[in-house]
Amino acid sequence: MQMNEISFGAAQPVDGYGPGFFRVGGRAVEGTLCLAMEGALAWGGLEDEEPLVALAGDVDVLFIGTGPEMAPLPRSLRSRLEDAGIGIEVMSTPSACRTYNVLLGEGRRVALAALPV
């Protein structure tokens, strides 16, 4: 089997996560996490819509991790993201982190917004 190293370019994958934190680029990020091509962005959770809507035009798909279990998005957030033309995939945070990393490694225009587990 041939192994190939993945290059993420300037973007950073999620290295790991645990109770209340994420590890990105070797450093711990406490609380919620929003990652885009330019790096980690300030995001206050599902009620903080503006940073996610601002990703319009820069990403094709936004993966939203809703914590340890998949949960529905607030209706207003879903509507604003859809109106902005952002594709959204809602899943548990562990699944969202893994999927984000895979597609980021493929060079896709993706972002991640995740609640801690």
Distance, CA of 89 to CA of 17 (rounded, Å): 19
Write down all domains in the chain, each with its CATH number in brackets: 32-114 (3.40.1230.10)
Closest alpha carbon to 114 in 7, 8, 16:
16
Q: Is the pLDDT of residue 77 over 70?
A: yes
Q: Report whether pLDDT(6) > 80.
A: no
**Distant-in-sequence, close-in-space partners of 34: CB < 8 Å, separation ≥ 6:** 40, 41, 42, 43, 51, 52, 111, 112, 113, 114
pLDDT digits (tens, 9 = 90+) for 22-65: 999 889 999 999 999 888 999 999 999 999 999 999 999 999 99
Pair of tokens at residue 17: 């996560």
Residues in the chain: 117
Residue 7 confidence (pLDDT) above 80 = no
